[in-house]
Amino acid sequence: KRVPRRLLTEEFKKEAIKLVEEQHFTIVNAGRQLIDIDPKSIRTWIAQSERGELKCALLQAYGGSTAHS
């Protein structure tokens, strides 16, 4: 069965990063707060942000991996 994909904006990802970096959520709790965002995705967004490479991408809902970086 195919997993539905969601388009997550750069703004959404920045908010996820803020939960971790500014509000001191754990990555797992930030993912739960944002409704089923895989912690690996949040870690990837943090790394991309640090490199200045954060952008909009498709993400598989319910624990997915990014389709595009």
pTM of this prediction exceeds 0.85: no
What is the sign, positive or negative, of the torsion defined by CA atoms of 64, 37, 15, 12? positive
What is the pLDDT, as a whole number, of residue 67?
41
Q: Count the alpha carbons within 13 Å of 14 in the hemisphere toward its beta carbon.
A: 8
The percent of residues above 90 in pLDDT, for the chain, comes to: 52
Separation CA 8–CA 46 (nearest Å): 14
**Given this model, what pLDDT does residue 62 score?**
43
Asked if 24 contacts 17 with a C-beta cutoff of 8 angstroms, the reply is: no
Question: Looking at residue 64, what is its pLDDT?
Answer: 46
Each residue of 29-63: pLDDT tens digit? 999 998 889 999 999 999 999 998 887 765 544 44
